[in-house]
Structure 1
């Protein structure tokens, strides 16, 4: 009996060593993730914290397979302080596994509940993300299930962390006015600051319509690179940056499920629509609002519904 015990103890030693090594590796990984996550979380823009805790009243019907997210990009600087600079709808159908984006022109002249007629981006300034949701639902007959709001300075940090070599973009023209840099035409790798400047430039013949097209191009490029370029070691830093630079009511479980679907079944493309659509608006000027886009709401509502329901049987 004693001999058998000694043999067993000798056989267990290699296994014990392996277990210790595995535990040390796990502990090291956890420490690495913990440090990176909290370093990133505490490097965020302190001014953006005041935008959190928005009262977004819409709720998701759990029986539906698709959902709409109101995406808002804001800038706390300059003459448009407090206004939403970018307003998009992200539509995702878990059955079709295909995301779609609707970009709303911020100069669209709409009825803001209890505020009268004004530019669409003024709704956020008047009443935050909830009034913006009410305005879009009232004018375009779209129900928003969730919201996600980001600060532009945080966007640049997230891009640089996720893609240290930059995001591949093909610029169609030279751009420099009011963006603090010169972007030359052609295919190139853009860091976060350059990508932000590229997506916000609007001083050309296309004005805001060109800006919206570039925003859609940026979304497509980031989505395309994210599956292949983001390594597992970047995830903790990204989680910290994302948590600190966005405000959202999207459930964590839904984010994880959507992330898994996009990772294992990458979308082949991203369909996009700009509102107002061609032939559905007029350029007007009104006191107190300035130059605006006066919309034919019936035409735009019909275009949005057709766009969102095209893949459904």
Structure 2
């Protein structure tokens, strides 16, 4: 099938950052969004979204053109018999979103990528899986040999990153979105802050930044929480989980305030001003996805980190993340075949699933 038009808690200096082919109990309240990508579905489904409001939101989104046009081949979609098809969104957290649609402005190292997430919405629309790929994962980048995966965005923008991810995973990418973590601070503040549980004091040894307990964090506080490097038992992989925890907290806050017209109007406006997307990911397309996935609960969204065997050194001395292909490849094969929910249920003990409380 072709690509359509398209427990919530109360950097390296390297230039690091192909078009195609239920986990957890269901909550009693419905979520209308997943991450910066699926959260945009609210734009079409929430507040009764009048035409003028949808148009305003759509006009706020920075457009990337068609990054798939430059990709000649890609994975073949296998779920063609389904009444609705699975949708895969590649979501990028960059340090610079503005002018992301002009590949000529990209220079090696000029735009770093702090987060790469593959969001899978199955054809049955009963779950969603969000898989973070560590930015330092050592992979093959077409035309550039072995490199950190976030180098693909720096080298060639959305098209090269999409191709790199598709080649690595065998998963067809349908839509591409870029945001930045400064934008996530604005989204957080538009919601009046988010609740994040800190299981133990967080600090650098001399100063405590966050004491043990539940905090209602502002955007700046949440950003500081996710950017801490020192004292994390698993380093950058710990940062990935904190990023996911922040996003989960945003989801929970949106879910709890989805009927608050004032808050949601402010939030949706902020979101629409904070992302860049491929031309095919219009508000009409988001509305279509929202209507098909409106039964999702926050507990139906599973956050994972791509399986790895830890860190290492490349031949040229770079610090890298080594993907565990014996665990990574079967997971991605399940995503490509739209069997991710069942696979995660069956292999939960072997996967890096976001826990209810993050250190």
Normalising by structure 1, we get a TM-score of 0.72
Question: Which ranges of structure 2 fall in alignment gaps of 5 or more residues?
Answer: 1-48, 98-107, 344-359
Q: How has the CA–CA distance of structure 1 residues 183 and 226 changed in structure 2, closer, same or farther, with 3 Å as cutoff?
A: same
Which residue number corresponds to residue 275 of structure 1?
306
Which residue number corresponds to residue 291 of structure 1?
319
Query: Which of residues 45, 59, 65 in structure 1 aligns to 2:85?
Result: 65
**TM alignment of 1:68-79, pairs within 5 A:** 68-76=88-96
Q: How has the CA–CA distance of structure 1 residues 295 and 236 changed in structure 2, closer, same or farther, with 3 Å as cutoff?
A: closer
Contact 1:195–1:218 (Cα < 8 Å) also in 2 = yes
**TM alignment of 1:1-313, pairs within 5 A:** 52-53=64-65, 55-57=67-69, 64-76=84-96, 81-161=110-190, 163-164=191-192, 166-176=193-203, 182-203=209-230, 204-230=232-258, 231-249=260-278, 250-260=281-291, 265-277=296-308, 281=309, 283-288=311-316, 290-306=318-334, 309-311=339-341
Contact 2:126–2:300 (Cα < 8 Å) also in 1 = no
Shift of 1:233: 2.2
Aligned residues: 264
Q: Secondary structure at the match of 2:233?
A: coil
* Greater C-alpha Rg: 1
Greater RCO, CA 8 A, separation 6+: 2
* More moved, 210-219 vs 104-113: 210-219
Contact 2:130–2:304 (Cα < 8 Å) also in 1 = yes
Q: Secondary structure at the match of 1:135?
A: helix
Q: Separation in 2 of the partners of 1:157 and 1:65?
A: 33
Q: How has the CA–CA distance of structure 1 residues 232 and 120 changed in structure 2, closer, same or farther, with 3 Å as cutoff?
A: same
* More moved, 197-206 vs 52-61: 52-61
* More moved, 238-247 vs 57-66: 57-66
Q: How has the CA–CA distance of structure 1 residues 259 and 64 changed in structure 2, closer, same or farther, with 3 Å as cutoff?
A: closer
Shift of 1:212: 1.4
Question: Which ranges of structure 1 fall in alignment gaps of 5 or more residues?
Answer: 1-29
* More moved, 79-88 vs 213-222: 79-88
More helix by share: 1
Shift of 1:207: 0.4
Deviations 1:265-298 (A, max 9, x none): 4343321221134xxx353212546111233435
Shift of 1:254: 3.0
Normalising by structure 2, we get a TM-score of 0.63
Q: Secondary structure at the match of 2:171?
A: coil
Q: How has the CA–CA distance of structure 1 residues 185 and 262 changed in structure 2, closer, same or farther, with 3 Å as cutoff?
A: farther
Deviations 1:228-260 (A, max 9, x none): 214222344334322221011323223124445
- C-alpha root-mean-square deviation of aligned residues, in Å? 3.5
